[in-house]
Homo-oligomer: A and B are copies of this chain.
Amino acid sequence: MTAAERFLSLSARDLRFEVEELYANYIGCLDEERFEEWPGFFTEPCLYRIIPRENFERGLPLSLWLCENQGYLQDRVTGIRKTLVYGPRMLRRMVSAIRILGWKDGELEVRANYTSYETLTDEPTRVFNVGQYRDKIVVEGDRLKFREKLCVYDSLLVPNSLIFPL
């Protein structure tokens, strides 16, 4: 049995376990600022978009971030580590209400709510960006990866600026 067949044959309960682990590891990677590992959560090619809900619901294409392959993702990491100029900050992410909509043509569709909290030096923590993950997950090697990850956020306003991924 291949890894893909094994995942496809999992019960709903066991699949939820695998998906919860994926999200926990994804958030752990970002919150601990191990950004170099972040592209490894995605397939090649992939689609990673951060888009305001208003644009998403109207079918407008404008995204705040758009990465279509590993190169784009790597570019973001390079930005964070080397080229971008920004004040020190920490992001803390939470995920909840994970819903597994099921497999379709080898892709697992998942939705979940996320919140994130930003802390700038000498400032109190504040709500940063809140929205919905709309993800398509596939089996690659022996693990789950994001073929598509949309972060559809509720507020048009992004306080300060978006430096780290969501």
Contacts and interface: CB of A to CB of B under 8 A. Distances in A.
Contacts of A111: 28
- Helix, strand, loop or mixed for chain A's interface? mixed
A102 interface: no
A110 B124 CA distance: 26
A131 interface: yes
A12 to B, nearest CB: 8
A64 to B, nearest CB: 15
B117 A125 contact: no
A63 interface: no
A84 interface: no
Interface string A113-140: 1010101011111110111100000000
